[in-house]
């Protein structure tokens, strides 16, 4: 997948709403997150590979500062 060649995104502990205009695949290097939609809530952290589908609306709650590789499309 070439994960380690993808760009890196960082974010401090925070909470925000997000809507995905396109699919995103991310690999967390550091941090802890809970993502909540109208239907479910899921938590993930360092070492997890997560795929967010296009059109997903959710709320991110970052419990521990995040550093992740990401790729759109």
Determine the average pLDDT of the residues in 68-73.
97
Tokens at 37, concatenated: 């939609």
- From residue 62, how far is each of 2, 11, 17, 46 by CA, in Å? 25, 8, 11, 12
- Phi then psi for 42, rounded to 5 degrees? -140, 140
pLDDT digits (tens, 9 = 90+) for 17-43: 999 999 999 999 999 999 999 999 999
Determine the average pLDDT of the residues in 55-70.
98
- Phi then psi for 4, rounded to 5 degrees? -75, -5
In 3-state terms, what secondary structure has residue 68? strand
Residue 45, strand partner residues: 32
Q: What is the mean pLDDT of the chain?
A: 98
Region 14-72: CATH code: 2.60.120.10
How far, in Å, CA of 14 to CA of 64, rounded?
A: 9
Domain ranges of the chain: 14-72
């Amino acid at each position: 997948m070439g994960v380690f060649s993808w760009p890196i995104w960082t974010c401090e502990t925070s909470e925000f709403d997000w809507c995905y205009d396109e699919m995103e695949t991310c690999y967390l290097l550091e941090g802890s997150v809970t993502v909540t939609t109208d239907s479910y809530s899921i938590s993930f952290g360092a070492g997890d590979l997560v795929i967010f589908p296009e059109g997903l609306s959710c709320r991110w709650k970052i419990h521990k500062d995040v550093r992740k590789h990401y790729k759109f499309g």
